[in-house]
Amino acid sequence: MYTSIFDTFFSHALIAPTRTVYVVSDSQLEELKRNQRQVELDNIEDSRKRLEECYQARIKVLDERQNEIKEELKTLSSTKVKAALNKK
């Protein structure tokens, strides 16, 4: 792709558009920091809640499967005992 000298000159970092600078008081800065920390804390608490809900749901699924397998084992064991008694 062709780049002109004009494009190169104005895309250079020294000629880049100026940045906006905001001046705030110490109390405003503290309020901004407090708000940011509160948002971060809220996000952590939400994340923890979702994680705990997922964990409990997974435990429930595992417990249900464990109970199913135990029941199948009981059924298989009783069938095996009956088969052994019938052979005698």
Residue-wise pLDDT for 52-85, tens only, equals: 999 999 999 999 999 999 999 998 888 776 676 6
Q: How much is the pTM?
A: 0.55
Given a contact cutoff of 8 angstroms between Cβ atoms, the answer to whether 32 and 24 are in contact is yes
Banded model confidence at residue 22, pLDDT cuts 50, 70, 90: confident
Q: How confident is the model at residue 9 (pLDDT cuts 50, 70, 90)?
A: low
Output the DSSP codes for 38-51. HHHHHHHHHHHHHH
Task: For residues 61 and 69, give the distance between their C-alpha atoms in angstroms, rounded to a whole number.
Answer: 12
Euclidean distance between CA atoms 72 and 26, whole angstroms: 69
Q: What is the pLDDT of residue 86?
A: 72
Q: What value, to the nearest 5°, has the Cα angle with vertex 20 and ends 16 and 21?
A: 130
